[in-house]
A and B are shown apart, each in its own frame.
Chain A
Amino acid sequence: KNQVEQSPQSLIILEGKNCTLQCNYTVSPFSNLRWYKQDTGRGPVSLTIMTFSENTKSNGRYTATLDADTKQSSLHITASQLSDSASYICVVSAITGFQKLVFGTGTRLLVSP
C-alpha cells in the first residue's frame, strides 16, 4: 500500500532556530517527492520537488534531502521566522501514467517569538 508518513506530528521552536522535518514513504514505483507548505486556511504551496536522481534541493532557507534507497526525505528550515508557522506536507508521486500524488498528513510547525 502506498503510504507517506511524517514526523513529528507537531513541533514548536523559537524564532531563529533551525529544525528538521522527516518523511518516510512506501510509494512505488517512485517518480518524485515534493514538500509543500500549507498556511492555515490556504491551499498548499510547493517548496521543492526532487526526482530519483536528486539528493538535495534548496529553496531559500528550506533545504530538502532525499535518500531513494531508504525511502526517506527531510526538510530542513534554517533561521526560522514567524511566517514559517504552517503545516509542511510531504507528497510522493507514483508513476501511473499521470501524477497520482500520495500525501502525508503533515507536520504542524509553530515558530514562537
Chain B
Amino acid sequence: GAGVSQSPSNKVTEKGKDVELRCDPISGHTALYWYRQRLGQGLEFLIYFQGNSAPDKSGLPSDRFSAERTGESVSTLTIQRTQQEDSAVYLCASSSYLGGRGDTQYFGPGTRLTVL
C-alpha cells in the first residue's frame, strides 16, 4: 500500500515481557517518528529518525524503550520488561522532511499495546 503501515495492530502481553512494534514508512520518506498516545490523552513524542540515525531520543520515557531503523525504511520500537503504564497506542509517522519546514507527517494506524 501507499501509506504508513504498522504491525501488529493489537498486542496483549504480560507484565515483564518484551515487545517489538514495527513500522513501515511511506517509500522514499527519510524522516520517521514514533509517538505514544495513552487513552484520552494527546500524542507524546518518543523518537525521531532522519535516515538511519536518531538525532532526537529525548522522548523515550526510560531505558526500557529503544528503537532502530535499518535501510532507511522499516523501524522497530522495542519495549523491554513491559509495565502496565506502557499500555497505549503507539503511532508511527513518516515525512519527506529534508531540513525545511512545513512538510506533512503521515501517520500509520497505530499498534494498541495492552500490558496485563
By a beta-carbon cutoff of 8 Å, the part of chain A in contact with chain B is 4, 31-32, 34, 41-46, 49, 51, 89, 93, 95-101, 103-106
Contacts and interface: CB of A to CB of B under 8 A. Distances in A.
Interface string B1-28: 0001000000000000000000000000
Contact of B91 (A32, A43, A98): A43
Contact of A99 (B4, B35, B101, B110): B101
A104 B93 CA distance: 17
A11 B86 CA distance: 29
Most buried by B among A4, A96, A99: A99
A43 B109 contact: yes
B41 interface: yes
A43 B102 contact: no
B56 interface: yes
A98 B104 contact: no
A89 B102 contact: no
Interface residues of B, number: 28
24 contacts: A31-B102, A32-B101, A41-B109, A43-B91, A43-B109, A44-B43, A44-B107, A46-B106, A51-B102, A95-B101, A96-B56, A97-B55, A98-B55, A98-B56, A98-B97, A98-B99, A99-B31, A99-B105, A100-B48, A100-B56, A101-B45, A103-B35, A103-B44, A104-B42
A31 B102 CA distance: 8
Interface in B92-116: 93, 95, 97, 99, 101-110
A60 B95 CA distance: 23
B39 to A, nearest CB: 12
Given A43-B91, A100-B56, A105 B42 contact: yes
Contact of A42 (B40, B42, B101, B109): B109
Closest 7 CB pairs of A and B: A43-B107, A105-B42, A103-B43, A103-B42, A46-B104, A44-B107, A32-B102
A32 B97 CA distance: 14
Contacts of A100: 45, 48, 56
A76 B80 CA distance: 43
